Structure 1
Amino acid sequence: MPKESKKKKAAQIQRVKGMHDILPDDQWLWDQVRSATKKIAEYYNFVRLDTPVLEQASLFERTVGEATDIVEKQMFIVQTKGKERLVMRPEWTAGAARAYIENSLSQRGFPVKLYTDLSLFRYEQPQEGRFREFHQLDLEIISSENDPIYDVQIMLVLTRIIESLKIKGFSISVNSIGCKSCRPPYKKELQNYYKGVKSQLCADCARRLEANPLRLLDCKEEKCVELKKNAPIIIDHLCNTCHNHFKQVLEYLDEVQLPYALDHHLVRGLDYYTKTVFEINCEGVDFAIAGGGRYDYLIELLGGKNTPAVGAAAGIERLIKVMKMQNPEKKPKEKQKIFLVHIGELAKKKSLSLIEELRKANIEITESLGKESLKAQLRVADKEGCPYALIFGQREAFEDNIILRDLKTGTQETVMLRKLAETLKKRS
């Protein structure tokens, strides 16, 4: 007889490069971030807005800027059968502005305060602190007034969220990048400076010098970071309106005692920003954990009315990295559950309805219904650190009772099923 051929093992499929799994042991950290965001944002009267993962490509090309890394290199573009160009959202503010206009959210009355937490997608080179799918918490304040108090309030809300996560050693850097009136003369001076050192620029910066010289200040290439140190600063070119706006921002920051440092070369990586921009950095990591700024022209650029606004965002993966670094082994103790052991087919069948009855009584149960032997199930109970086991066998299923065993002392008693919830509540 011919030998049976050995069955070939199926090839293992790996996760996509730049993506990551959020494992069960880390979920409590994600819950903390989301819970803190919801609690604090809603205290300050923010309401949640969720937008689709897919948006029109033109939404970001028009707002983020064609000479930015996001539009030039990082967008995940989806071509539909109808030749429609869609993008997996690379950032949220433009989508929030689109939703604000399309759904007439101005009818809620000003200011409109929006928050969310969501996944974003950028085709970046994966490295520490950078993924191709990542998550952010976002805050936006859309107002009828161009009032600097909202610039500071959004920084305040963001820092309160960070503080509630027990993150220490973070600092705020602020700058003003002016407006349509005062920015052009500064751009000209910036171009003149960089033309003198053009041979030392990276390829991207050399290409962007004419189209968008502000982007050079946001470059992370080491040689460009060095050149930035001697670049002209925009604070010397601000018009009276922008100068007074920024002066008030700093006064409000002093009033609420938010420590800050001036960074005259801070611009952020998106073209829609105006006036105030800020970043939050933290000791021990070499990337910003949060940032934001004002975007007074964005809503008008998307077909809405001239409406001032300011936004902020924090990277959730980055926050969690800092939380783990600063507070290792701080996972809260989980509430100990009671383990249900079944013995025999009838008890196994009745276990499902028994679990439902205990759920209604708010008693937390864990089990291993797929295992049949008493020993195997008790091993699982021991591994999970359960203080008590409910042993439900054929006899107990017929007699409507159950054995309650203390897994530490080994003592046990028989309890009628109708009195089980009451008995367990006394033990908790």
Structure 2
Amino acid sequence: MDFRIPRGTMDLMPGEVEKWQYIEEKARDLCRRYHFSEVRTPLFEQTELFRRGVGETTDIVEKEMYTFTDQGGRSLTLRPEGTASIVRSFVEKKVYGEPQPTKWYYIGPMYRYERPQAGRQRQFHQFGVEVFGTTAPGMDAEVIDLGFQFYRTLGLDGVKVELNSVGCPRCRPIHREKLIEYLTPRKEELCKDCLSRLDRNPMRILDCKNESCREVTEKAPRMVDHLCDDCKSHFEEVQENLQLLDVPYVLNTQMVRGLDYYTQTAFEFVIEGGAGSLGGGGRYNGLVEEIGGPEMPGIGFGLGLERTLLALEEQGLELPARYGVDCYVIALGDDAKKRAISLLKELREVGCSADRDYLDRKMKGQMKAADRMGARYAAILGENELKENRIKVKELATGNQETIQLDRLADYIRQGRKD
């Protein structure tokens, strides 16, 4: 049988994995500076969590979830996004009883049954943050700023923030009525999915990617024109805080995001090119309560790492991802091979990466192996060097070579690693 990787997934090979590690390290360091703590949740949850959390009328729930029944007859779903799981953990662990706000982040795989394309896979990865316990507009701006700084730290140009307010349960009903009133005479122009949402959740129609639906909704009533006083004031303060943080943004009054739990602030990070939307998020003041907790506000984002890497590639940005070993030990002769075993141990104990030959190759073959591994140094130990308690060290990039005391090798390589 010819086994192949499932459609919409990727093998990350050596040389590529290091790029992922680099951007993940950047995300973790950024979160440390913004005082966020990491949380890791299961890859699958009860299906009902996503139905209630993400929303019955979303494309995710209606079309894209990987759902299965386990041997106990329970319906489980591979997580299609990160927020619902994080909120479930927040509620289940009763973190709402601790001093607020709570600031968490996560990095990991998500799963959606979509048509695979550049930057969009069925198993994809997100870096996300969630904040609970405050409605302060300044926190909305801080979360947006963190996401923007992530792209800036990686060196991406042209990233901009698209911003909108999707209101709250008090002002949404007015907009809903206006929207139904506007769309009903035009319902024949809507796709099948949007037609089914007209009565259930007309705001979802604004998120449709179908060209005919987009033409219909281009002049539809805008939520920002129907905000209550609290939502309007909140939105104005978010914008003021973003200006103070020097975060560039543009208003996109058609944006509603693809999830039902958003209230008030909604935003996306977009860039020209194949990557398009890099990620986004928003405020979700009713989600904790919906999932069984007390009334507790929240805000967060999820950023696609595949799309981030695609954008970096499109801009020709090489990540300084380190690959290869610090030192490849070349041992010639039986006694030298035995000494090489302890040399590797010494190198690794001081924090250096090291390897040696295990195929009994000659000197030339071992040097080729060192090159293939991307070794910075080759340490050459023959019988004569061993008798003199010395070793030759060659820097492969320059060809420079010198002979040093054998017991100095670990410190020599460690120092070169720092330079």
Normalising by structure 1, we get a TM-score of 0.89
Q: How do 1:267-346 and structure 2 match up within 5 A? A: 267-285=256-274, 287-329=276-318, 331=320, 337-344=326-333
How many Å separate the matches in 2 of 1:132 and 1:357? 44
Q: Which residue of 2 aligns with 1:265?
A: 254
Q: Which residue of 1 aligns with 2:106?
A: 116
Q: How do 1:170-319 and structure 2 match up within 5 A? A: 170-285=159-274, 287-319=276-308
Q: Which residue of 2 aligns with 1:84?
A: 74
Q: Which residue of 2 aligns with 1:3?
A: none
> Are 1:404 and 2:361 an aligned pair?
no
> Are 1:66 and 2:65 an aligned pair?
no
Q: Which residue of 1 aligns with 2:2?
A: 12
How many Å separate the matches in 2 of 1:322 and 1:422? 40
How many Å separate the matches in 1 of 2:67 and 2:30? 35
Q: Which residue of 2 aligns with 1:103?
A: 93
How many Å separate the matches in 2 of 1:235 and 1:135? 32
Q: Which residue of 1 aligns with 2:43?
A: 53
Identity of aligned residues (%): 35
How many Å separate the matches in 2 of 1:98 and 1:59? 8
User: Aligned-pair distance for 1:111?
Assistant: 0.7
How many Å separate the matches in 1 of 2:20 and 2:334? 39
- Give the direction of change, closer, same or farther, for the CA distance of 1:422–1:254 in structure 2 (3 Å limit): closer
User: Aligned-pair distance for 1:328?
Assistant: 3.6
How many Å separate the matches in 2 of 1:87 and 1:286? 27
Between stretches 204-213 and 306-315, larger displacement belongs to: 204-213
User: Aligned-pair distance for 1:313?
Assistant: 1.6
Q: Which residue of 2 aligns with 1:421?
A: 410
User: Aligned-pair distance for 1:392?
Assistant: 3.7
AA matched with 1:52: P
User: Aligned-pair distance for 1:149?
Assistant: 1.5
- Give the direction of change, closer, same or farther, for the CA distance of 1:218–1:426 in structure 2 (3 Å limit): closer
Structure 2 residue matching 1:223: 3-state secondary structure? helix
Normalising by structure 2, we get a TM-score of 0.91
> Contact (CA 8 Å) 1:344, 1:372: kept in 2 or not?
no
Unpaired runs of 5+ residues, structure 1, are 1-10
> Contact (CA 8 Å) 1:280, 1:290: kept in 2 or not?
yes
How many Å separate the matches in 2 of 1:18 and 1:62? 26
- Give the direction of change, closer, same or farther, for the CA distance of 1:147–1:420 in structure 2 (3 Å limit): closer
Q: Which residue of 1 aligns with 2:25?
A: 35
Q: Which residue of 2 aligns with 1:21?
A: 11
User: Aligned-pair distance for 1:36?
Assistant: 1.6
AA matched with 1:208: R
Structure 2 residue matching 1:313: 3-state secondary structure? strand
> Contact (CA 8 Å) 1:28, 1:331: kept in 2 or not?
no
How many Å separate the matches in 2 of 1:263 and 1:49? 32
- Give the direction of change, closer, same or farther, for the CA distance of 1:416–1:92 in structure 2 (3 Å limit): same
> Contact (CA 8 Å) 1:129, 1:287: kept in 2 or not?
no
Between stretches 356-365 and 150-159, larger displacement belongs to: 356-365
AA matched with 2:82: W
Structure 1 residue matching 2:15: 3-state secondary structure? helix
Task: State the superposition RMSD in angstroms.
Answer: 2.5
> Are 1:140 and 2:130 an aligned pair?
yes
How many Å separate the matches in 1 of 2:167 and 2:333? 75
Q: Which residue of 1 aligns with 2:154?
A: 165
User: Aligned-pair distance for 1:372?
Assistant: 2.9
How many Å separate the matches in 2 of 1:171 and 1:405? 49
Q: Deviations over 1:112-131 (max 9, x none)?
A: 00111111011111122211
Unpaired runs of 5+ residues, structure 2, are none
User: Aligned-pair distance for 1:336?
Assistant: 6.9
Query: How many equivalent residue pairs?
Result: 415
Structure 2 residue matching 1:226: 3-state secondary structure? helix
User: Aligned-pair distance for 1:418?
Assistant: 3.4
Q: Which residue of 2 aligns with 1:75?
A: 65
AA matched with 1:93: T
- Give the direction of change, closer, same or farther, for the CA distance of 1:114–1:329 in structure 2 (3 Å limit): closer
User: Aligned-pair distance for 1:221?
Assistant: 1.4
Structure 2 residue matching 1:125: 3-state secondary structure? coil
How many Å separate the matches in 2 of 1:157 and 1:375? 50
Structure 2 residue matching 1:42: 3-state secondary structure? helix
- Give the direction of change, closer, same or farther, for the CA distance of 1:366–1:95 in structure 2 (3 Å limit): same
User: Aligned-pair distance for 1:180?
Assistant: 1.0
User: Aligned-pair distance for 1:394?
Assistant: 6.2
Between stretches 134-143 and 189-198, larger displacement belongs to: 189-198
